[in-house]
Amino acid sequence: MSIQKNSSIGTVEESQQSAVHLAEDPALLVFSHLRWHFVTQRPQHLLTRAAQSRHVYFWEEPWFHDAADPESRGRDGGWVEFLEVEQTPDVTVIRPHFNHGEDSIKGQRRLLNRFLSDRGLERFDSWFYTPMALSFTAHLHPRVTVYDCMDELSAFFGAPPELIEREKELFRVADVIFTGGQSIYEAKRSKHSNVHAFPSSIDLPHFAQARTVQSDPPDQAGIPDPRVGFFGVLDERLDSALISEVALLRPHVHFVFLGPVVKIDPAQLPTASNIHYLGSKSYAELPRYLAGWDAAILPFALNDSTRFISPTKTPEYLAAGKRVVSTPIKDVVTGYGMAGLVEVAGTALEFATALDRAISTGQDAEWTQRVERKLVESSWDLTWAAMRAEIDAVRDRKSKVVPPPSRWRSNHNCSSGSGDPFDYLVVGAGFAGSVVAERLASQLGKRVLVIDKRPHIGGNTYDFYNEDGILVHRYGPHIFHTSSQKVVDYLSCFTEWRPYEHRVLAQVDGKLLPIPINLDTINRLYDLNLDSGGMEKFLAERVEARTEIRTSEDIVVSRVGRDLYEKFFRNYTRKQWGLDPSELDSCVAGRIPVRFDRDVRYFSDSFQAMPSEGFTRLFERMLAHPNINVVLSTDYREAMGSHPSAKVVYTGPIDEFFDYRFGPLPYRSLRFEHKTHDTEQFQPAAVVNYPNDYDYTRITEFKHLTGQKHEKTSIVYEYPTDEGEPYYPIPRPENAALYERYRALASAAKSVYFCGRLANYRYFNMDQVVAQALHMYGTIADDEAAEFSIQIPARMLGSATATAQAAT
């Protein structure tokens, strides 16, 4: 692998020099499926404007070579080519190259990392045209992530099937989404909280040249009048049948097509003596061709791939003073047709008749004025200014929650003399791992590699917008509650909060009753009208005395009696644990309170709230420190060997770390079944428990937790199971004893810190894990300080010896 410096098309050094002139905006890293030097479209208009205040790096899709290609000989593993953009030194086009058969995902990740480190690019914004680029960029930490969604790419001919999944992921990680038109905006607006429509705009002075240009380009000069024309990519979006029919209906009209043929066989294009294909023309040449047309056309087919298009050429034709006839593309109709600026025609006959009118009418003063009014409002300059304002707004919002600069930051270079780029390897990107990583990076200036085997950060608390744009929790409902102000203060550096008090109902005897059991539960279940004192008496008459509280059954029957135990707890526990409460430690049911008032809150903590933009956003900000690298979909064992001198913070299962040498620690797991319903609300509370009916234990409706407004709603069913992800350690004495054996090994392990629920084989709530991780960080900081203080005398001794030697 290498990074090529190709002097014939602009060198790395030249690009770096141009960057000297830049204003304070960080570089913009763009990932595009379109090639810069292909056809000038929206990306070039926007990004050349972006380049007025920052350097733009435009990363294209890879270019593949045959093994026999002399250019690729001896260049296994790929290389990048840097291309300059004429008159725009602050745009650098980067083109990755690979041989056919090479893994271009891994290859691009490597090339990109190398490129970023060569340029020292730590701070940058990223901008996506293709969601597919996430496959090699997910580990980056841009300051702001933009998705400029130009089209419904997945509807395009030849679109990779995983594009839809990737786009969902991009919607999750992007801070702001721009759409290339109104229709695509309508389709995407519910999928993200920060979506803005920016329909295609116009470079008015450029196309207005067509109004004054006289001379025909040589290849057009021989085509007789009247002429109508089209420029752009010639692909499956064109309606070939319609073009053929119209050409047949109007044999005296000549149809000129400019542009490259893409994805379709050129032989499929309509042919006739009055249809002319003149090939690709540069952006600069277009006004000269346009000048020689009597009208312009948008003969697009109406299919999936054109449902959301907002053709840039519409205002460009108009700027050239040309009448336009279009098929009923939604954005053309709503943006121009309804205002009488473009003729819209559905059938071939209508199209031909509209062309007759367009050719014979030409320009008139009133129409020209209306066109100009519309175009002045739609300049690329205005569009870019509005986009930039949105990006700045995100930057400002995010900068409020960036952790303060580190105290010890300047020390980090002394911490590893081994040449290893990382001081710490953190296994697990859940709360335990992320908190420790963030503290190590921001407070001690340590270089941290966070590894998770899952394809996302956040551990079990990971949330994401599903295909309907509803925020859901992948691994079941996570409700934040704590009585620790320290934990709240810490997490508030990375999120704002939405107050939320959790409520749970249980379906018992056909009634939905509050849980934990309170006064209303008893009154409604037994059709009573007790007050608090009455409830105490009611329960006192039913509880079963126990001399020793050992099991979950003991604790429940001694608090609420047998009937409530049978109705609310016994079967629920059997489903949840696969064990009878009489076989389970008392601590399992010990968490469930009984209330003698009407308090329906599930938790009693002083702080109950949800992160206002979800858990994943919180984690993104926590891990956004430039010293932290995150690698996903990777088991830590793949990375351990590469970082032998890094200390380890391990938040995975403790038995796995020691290769299960005493046998596996038993866990209970869950299977989640997510569903979305076409109704605003599914159930009256966030969670409904089903102790006695069905195989699932409970149903959660997420909109109650997140406060999201949406016409649909998403729910999740939980089916307890023995197999699957390790969720709940099974609290039985023999398991505790097994864990103790592993714990003894962990205490003896050198330079490994064990933290979190899996490493401790204990059920912890999120706040407990955060508190534990902050405490663990304190321990590590103490160890670092101790190491540091040992090093100082050693160094001082060294220099004192040297001084003494010099003196003799």
Ligand X SMILES: Cc1cc2nc3c(=O)[nH]c(=O)nc-3n(C[C@H](O)[C@H](O)[C@H](O)COP(=O)(O)OP(=O)(O)OC[C@H]3O[C@@H](n4cnc5c(N)ncnc54)[C@H](O)[C@@H]3O)c2cc1C
475 sits near ligand X (criterion: CB under 6 A):
yes
Amino acid at 328: P
Rounded to the nearest whole angstrom, what is the least distance from the CB of residue 43 to ligand X in the complex?
A: 36
Minimum CB–partner distance for residue 483 and ligand X (Å): 12
611 part of the interface to ligand X, by CB under 6 A: no
Indicate whether 433 belongs to the interface with ligand X (CB under 6 A). Answer: yes
Q: Which helix (H) or strand (E) holds 65?
A: strand 63-65
Q: Based on the shown chain and the rule CB under 6 A, indicate whether residue 616 belongs to the binding site for ligand X.
A: no
Q: Shortest distance, CB of residue 461 to ligand X, whole angstroms?
A: 5
The CB-of-654 to ligand X minimum distance in angstroms stands at: 10
Question: Which residues inside 755-774 make contact with ligand X, applying CB under 6 A?
Answer: 756-758, 764-767, 769
Q: Which is nearer to ligand X, 253 or 670 (CB)?
A: 670
Of 322 and 478, which has the nearer Cβ to ligand X?
A: 478
Q: Is 555 in the site for ligand X (CB under 6 A)?
A: no
Two structure tokens written together for 521: 């539960």
**Listed ranges 278-286, 299-307, 375-383, 651-659: which one lies at the site for ligand X (CB under 6 A):** 651-659
Q: Exactly one of 259, 292, 337, 428 binds ligand X (CB under 6 A); which one?
A: 428
Chosen residue from 427, 508, 686, 705 binding ligand X by CB under 6 A: 427
* Stretch touching ligand X by CB under 6 A, among 132-140, 350-358, 440-448, 471-479: 471-479
Specify the residue, 11 or 492, whose C-beta has the smaller distance to ligand X. Answer: 492
Q: What are residue 508's phi and psi, to 5 degrees?
A: -135, 135
Task: Say if CB 673 and CB 724 are below 8 A apart.
Answer: no
Phi, psi of 385 (to 5 degrees): -60, -40
Residue 150 in the binding site for ligand X (CB under 6 A)? no
Q: Does 430 engage in binding with ligand X (CB under 6 A)?
A: yes
Spatial neighbors of 323 by CB under 8 A, at least 6 apart, are 295, 296, 343, 357, 358, 359, 361, 362, 363
Under the binding rule (CB under 6 A), the answer on residue 461 touching ligand X is yes
| By the rule CB under 6 A, 700 interacts with ligand X | no
Task: Kindly list the distances between the CA atom of residue 748 and the CA atoms of 424, 753, 787, in Å, as whole numbers in the listed order.
Answer: 19, 10, 18
Instruction: Report how far apart, in Å, the C-alpha atoms of 274 and of each of 256, 292, 299, 492, 597 are.
Output: 8, 16, 16, 68, 86
Work out how close the CB of 747 gets to ligand X at its nearest, in angstroms, rounded to a whole number: 19
Binding-site size for ligand X (CB under 6 A) equals 34
Q: Minimum CB separation from ligand X for residue 621, in Å?
A: 16
- Per CB under 6 A, the list member of 237, 478, 625, 703 interacting with ligand X is 478
Q: How far apart are CA 311 and CA 151, in angstroms?
A: 10
776 binding ligand X? (CB under 6 A): no
Residue 460 engages ligand X in binding (rule: CB under 6 A): yes
In the chain, % helix, strand, coil (3-state, to 5) comes to 40, 20, 40
Rounded Cα gap, residues 92 and 86, in angstroms: 10
DSSP type of residue 236: T
Instruction: Give CA–CA dist 34/22, Å, rounded.
Output: 26
Q: Which residue type occupies 574? A: R
- Give whichever of 27 and 758 is closer to ligand X, judged by the CB atom: 758
Q: What is the DSSP string of 417-432?
A: TT--S-SEEEE--SHH
CA 234, CA 227: separation in Å to the nearest integer? 18
In terms of Cα–Cα distance, which of 174, 164, 162 is closest to 137?
174
Of 451 and 624, nearer to ligand X (C-beta) is 451
Our finding on whether 722 is near ligand X (CB under 6 A) is no
Report how far apart, in Å, the C-alpha atoms of 56 and of each of 22, 114, 395 are. Answer: 11, 17, 18
Question: Counting contacts by CB under 6 A, is residue 429 touching ligand X?
Answer: yes
Of 79, 147, 569, 636, the one binding ligand X (CB under 6 A) is 636
Single out the segment in contact with ligand X by CB under 6 A; choices: 176-184, 285-293, 430-438, 488-496.
Answer: 430-438
579's CB contacts (< 8 A; 6+ apart) are 573, 730
Environment class of residue 796 by beta-carbon count within 10 Å: exposed (0-12), middle (13-18) or buried (19+)?
exposed
Judged by CB under 6 A, does residue 738 bind ligand X?
Answer: no
Least separation in angstroms between CB 687 and ligand X: 9
Work out how close the CB of 681 gets to ligand X at its nearest, in angstroms, rounded to a whole number: 21
Q: Where does this chain touch ligand X (CB under 6 A) — which range of 40-48, 395-403, 426-434, 740-748?
A: 426-434
Q: Which residues pair with 298 in a beta bridge?
A: 326
476 makes contact with ligand X (CB under 6 A) = yes
Answer left, alpha or beta for residue 692, where phi above 0 means left and psi between -120 and 50 means alpha: alpha
Interface with ligand X, residue 652, by CB under 6 A: yes
Closest separation in Å from C-beta 231 to ligand X = 51
By CB under 6 A, the residues from 89 to 148 that bind ligand X are none
Q: Which of 431, 268, 345, 295 is nearest to 767 (CA)?
A: 431
Taking CB under 6 A as the rule, does residue 516 contact ligand X?
no
* Parallel/antiparallel/unpaired status of strands 713-721 and 176-179: unpaired
Which of 727, 739, 753, 754 is in the footprint of ligand X by CB under 6 A? 727
Residue 515 binds ligand X (CB under 6 A): no
Q: Kindly state the smallest distance separating residue 653's Cβ from ligand X, in Å.
A: 6
**Would you count residue 505 as binding ligand X (CB under 6 A)?**
no
Please report, as ranges, the residues that interact with ligand X according to CB under 6 A.
Answer: 427-433, 451-454, 459-461, 475-479, 635-636, 651-652, 656, 670, 727, 756-758, 764-767, 769
